Amino acid sequence: MKLEQAAKQLEALGNPTRLKLYRTLVRAGETGRPVGYLQEALGIAASTLSHHLHRLILTGLVTQERHATTLICRANYPVMNELLSFLADECCADAACGPAVGEAAA
C-alpha cells in the first residue's frame, strides 16, 4: 500500500460520523446494511449520510451494491486488512533487540 492511499483512508476515518458509520458496517459483516438502516441507526439526514458514504467509497473502504430499490453498503474487508497491515508492518522495526524493560530488572 502506498503512503498516500493510507493517508486518504485514515483522513476519511478521521471524521467521527464516518468512523461510526464505518464501524457499523464492519460489525455488520459480509451481508452489509441497507442505507435506510444506516440512516436510522446513525440518526442523520439522508444527504449527510450520502456525503459520508461517498467519502468512504472513494477511498475504497466501503462498497455499495443495488438490490432492486435498496442500496446495500459493505465494509471492504480486503482494503481494511491492507490498511491495518500497512500500519502494523513495521511495528518495532527500529527498536533495539535488547531485553524488555521488565526483564532488565530481573
- With cell 435506510, the residue in question is 36
Is 16 part of a structural domain of the chain? yes
Is 33 part of a structural domain of the chain? yes
What average pLDDT values come out for the chain (106 residues) when binned by 10 residues?
Answer: 94 97 97 97 96 97 96 97 93 72 56
Residue 72 near residue 64 (C-beta atoms within 8 A): yes
Is 99 part of a structural domain of the chain? no
pLDDT at 5: 96
Is 28 part of a structural domain of the chain? yes
Is 41 part of a structural domain of the chain? yes
Is 104 part of a structural domain of the chain? no
Is 96 part of a structural domain of the chain? no
Task: Please count the CA atoms within 13 angstroms of the CA of 44 that sit on its side-chain side.
Answer: 16
Decide: pTM greater than 0.75: yes
Which domain does 75 fall in, by range? 3-89
Number of domains, the chain = 1
Separation of alpha carbons 24 and 49, rounded Å: 13
pLDDT at 102: 60
Q: CATH no. for residue 59? A: 1.10.10.10
pLDDT at 103: 57
